[in-house]
Amino acid sequence: MTQVTQPTGGWLRQILIAENLAVAVPATGNTVLLIMPTLGMKNLGVEIKPTVHALDAFIIAARFGPNSDFVTLYSSAGQFTSPAGLLIGASGDLTALAAGATGWFVLDIRGLYEVRVSASSTTDGTLVDAYASAS
């Protein structure tokens, strides 16, 4: 399915809601689950639900401007099990999220132009549902 992103709110407060359902995540490479415009917002929450097979990689990357490259912020097991820096909290090791499990993270996004969430699966045929909200 195609990602749906809905920025809402007004001049004083922006809210972002995004979802991308049944994303096919193969065992090779990293598949983008969500890309969210975050400029002017403070916090981002993301929920991930893999089906059938577990994840074997999970990456949070960000851009600091419209013409900059994405840089990896978090991608190793220890970064999710012991959150620090911009990563406020996580449900555990998202790099090894089991099939049928629900994983989540909360990220301080002040100063970030855009956030990208990607993953890889242990086996082809994995589908992932991804949900996010920011304000």
- pLDDT by residue (tens digit) across 23-38? 999 998 999 999 999 9
What is the distance in angstroms between the CA of the first residue and the CA of the last residue of the chain? Answer: 24
Sequence-distant (6+) residues with CB within 8 A of 33 are 20, 23, 25, 48, 117, 118, 119, 128, 130
pTM of the model: 0.91
For residue 69, report the phi and psi dihedrals to the nearest 5 degrees. Answer: -85, 155
Q: Which domains does the chain have, with CATH numbers?
A: 13-134 (2.60.120.380)
- pLDDT by residue (tens digit) across 36-93? 999 999 999 999 999 989 999 999 999 999 999 999 999 999 999 999 999 999 999 9
Taking residue 42's Cβ as centre, other Cβ atoms within 10 Å add up to 11
Rounded to whole angstroms, the Cα distance separating 72 from 86 reads: 12
